Homo-oligomer: A and B are copies of this chain.
Amino acid sequence: MTGQRTEATQPAVGVEERPEPPGLPDPLPEPAAADIRLETVLGALSDPLRLRIVRKLLLESEEFDHTCGWFGLDRPKSSLTHHFRALREAGVTRQRQYGLERRSQVRVADLNARFPGLLDLVAAWTPPDGD
């Protein structure tokens, strides 16, 4: 049951019922596209570390999703779990479980449809003290 939160604690409001391409693991619990709230997304993106994660995914992902280790973030694993979950529960990213690894990708289509231009701002962002 690794990587699967229990029903009692998962806060996802509406889990998407989208037909998946064959061979992909199901996404972890996430809000449906229509349930993504602007104030929640802005709150998720107001943290520099998470802004960095999303920006790196946008600029360097090349259509693939990535594990937590790929980002090269100098934080304990429990802290990274916290931030990646915050992004997923806000609807910013989607996470899938591949064996041991949990890979993340930005929900580009959903976010561009609901908040056009927002991801452009994230991509253009520069960290306070360099990259």
Contact = CB atoms under 8 A, between A and B. Distances in A.
Interface of A: 37-40, 42-43, 45-48, 51, 115-118, 120-122, 125, 128
17 contacts: A38-B51, A38-B121, A39-B45, A39-B46, A39-B47, A39-B48, A39-B51, A40-B46, A42-B42, A42-B43, A42-B46, A43-B43, A43-B46, A116-B117, A116-B120, A117-B117, A118-B121
Task: Identify whether the interface residues of A are mostly helix, strand, loop, or mixed.
Answer: helix
Chain copies in complex? 2
Contacts of A38: 51, 121-122, 125
Name, among A37, A38, A45, A116, the residue most crowded by chain B CB atoms within 10 Å (CB to CB): A38
A25 to B, nearest CB: 31
Contacts of A39: 45-48, 51, 125
